[in-house]
Amino acid sequence: MKFICLLSAIVLATAAAPAGAQNAATQTFTGVITDSECADADHGRMRMGDTDLECVKACVDAHGATYVLFDGKTAWELTDQAKAAPFAAKRVTVTGKLDAGKKRIQVESITAAR
């Protein structure tokens, strides 16, 4: 009987875990839109252009990099690359849901930071 109760508790806890992950709260994150090749926003070592913007675009267009948000400590993958593109090399505020385990933000919106 104890085994059945324990097994039931494990099954219920396992079934509830994915639902909790999907209900993550929407948050805001501020940082610079950069690329996954220069994830710390230091474009000096890549030298893919004269400006940070040129480097970000070159890394994305020519080298298969993706847009990321660098908050000063961590580069966060952004799920909506089309929303990130107009803000390349700019300071922004991203609204979305964080998946810390995957270092990813499910993007809802991106606006210029104030």
Domains in the chain (CATH in brackets) are 25-112 (2.40.50)
| Residue-level pLDDT at 21 | 46
Q: State the Cα–Cα distance between residues 114 and 105, nearest whole angstrom.
A: 20
Q: State the Cα–Cα distance between residues 89 and 76, nearest whole angstrom.
A: 14
Q: How confident is the model at residue 17 (pLDDT cuts 50, 70, 90)?
A: very low
Distances (CA, A) of 14 to 20, 21, 33, 75, 98: 11, 12, 36, 30, 21
Q: How confident is the model at residue 97 (pLDDT cuts 50, 70, 90)?
A: very high
Composition of the chain by helix, strand, coil, percent to 5: 40, 30, 30
pTM: 0.74
Question: How large is the C-alpha radius of gyration of the chain?
Answer: 19
| Residue-level pLDDT at 112 | 97
| CA 93 from centre of chain | 12
In this structure, the strands spanning 67-70 and 75-78 are antiparallel
